[in-house]
């Protein structure tokens, strides 16, 4: 249960029930806006030069929110940069939360006559080429799977590397989500999409189902189970992935569960002749601009491109 002023609680309920945001996303909105309101209370209401990050926010009246200006919002962004050392990505997420919050207060709840966040700009983000495993590194990771629960762990890794699921999507797989060689995934915002399983995924799931516990299972529909026979947790999957990354001789600081999603997307695009629109559908991206990061080229492609120039072998006789 959130401890917050009524207008913030109403906003969070709106985002979950009307906009269809997942509980995790709603939690992120709350944490972002709680920090923002603590900044407002400390700096504007109490005239402090520091932000008390334990200060309660439920007593901040809507009249104080009406006094917030665009300048105040940029002061908050500056504070996040200087004092909190937030990255541009983290600040961009907080900008998005603030924009949604003030848009709701102005357009939906009619609590504000003016939206100060309307002109609030997001930090410019540098597009980074996603880190991913090569085919050989992916093979090494899969070959490293041995020991207890190897059928389950292998199935987890093979699905990550072939289907490009998010961590929460993999953990949330139910047995009845798998039918006729396809997997129904519940992604961000509770949006469903269908992913067609290739033979390696089908084989891995079948082998795991042969040893998956049946008696005393707490969540009978959950595909992947822990030793306690309950749905496997995100933390456990992260630990499993890290364990086998180390066993495969790879850098655990460089690769993670999300990097396996990057790997699947990159390998599909580079080697599977998958067009960008299909890749967007497989990954469950709302915007194709997010998918476009996988259209990057590697150093070999750049070298080959230059080498293919018709003048690459031109030699001038200088004698």
Which sequence positions are flagged as catalytic?
A: 166, 188, 258, 261, 285, 294
Strands 192-196 and 178-179: unpaired
In sign, the C-alpha dihedral spanning 168, 174, 180, 181 is: positive
- DSSP code at position 134: -
- The CA distance from 260 to 256, in Å, is 7
Helix axes 70-82, 23-40, angle to 10 degrees: 100
SS3 167: helix
Residues comprising the chain, all counted: 319
- Residue 274, CB-side half-sphere exposure with 13 Å CA sphere: 23
Using only the alpha carbons of the chain, give its radius of gyration.
24
Which helix H or strand E contains 239, and what residues bound it? helix 234-247
SS3 250: coil
- The CA distance from 42 to 52, in Å, is 7
């Amino acid at each position: 249960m959130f401890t917050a002023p009524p207008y913030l609680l109403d906003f969070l309920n709106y985002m979950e029930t009307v906009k269809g945001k997942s509980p995790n996303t709603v939690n992120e909105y709350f944490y972002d806006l709680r920090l923002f309101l603590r900044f407002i209370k400390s700096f504007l209401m109490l005239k402090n030069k520091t932000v008390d990050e334990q200060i309660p926010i439920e007593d901040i009246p809507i009249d104080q929110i009406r006094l917030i200006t665009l300048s105040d919002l940029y002061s908050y962004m500056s504070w996040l940069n200087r004092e909190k050392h937030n990255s541009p990505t983290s600040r961009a997420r907080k900008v998005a939360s603030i924009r949604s919050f003030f848009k709701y207060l102005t357009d939906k709840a009619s609590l504000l006559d003016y939206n100060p966040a309307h002109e609030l700009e997001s930090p410019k983000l540098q597009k980074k080429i996603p880190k991913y495993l090569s085919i050989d590194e992916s093979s090494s990771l899969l070959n490293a799977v041995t020991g207890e629960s190897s059928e389950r762990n292998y199935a987890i890794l093979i699905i990550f590397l072939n289907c490009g699921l998010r961590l929460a999507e993999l953990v949330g797989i139910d047995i009845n989500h798998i039918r006729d060689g396809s997997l129904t995934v519940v992604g961000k915002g509770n949006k469903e999409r269908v992913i067609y399983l290739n033979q390696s995924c089908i084989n891995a799931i079948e082998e795991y189902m042969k040893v998956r516990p049946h008696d005393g299972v707490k969540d009978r529909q959950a595909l992947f189970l822990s030793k306690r026979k309950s749905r496997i947790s995100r933390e456990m999957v992260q630990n499993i992935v890290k364990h086998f990354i180390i066993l495969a001789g790879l850098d655990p600081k460089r690769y993670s569960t999300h990097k396996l999603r990057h790997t699947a997307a990159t390998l599909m695009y580079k080697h599977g002749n998958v067009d960008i629109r299909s890749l967007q559908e497989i990954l469950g991206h709302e915007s194709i601009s997010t998918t476009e990061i996988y259209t990057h080229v590697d150093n070999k492609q750049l070298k080959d491109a230059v080498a293919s120039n018709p003048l690459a072998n031109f030699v001038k006789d200088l004698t």
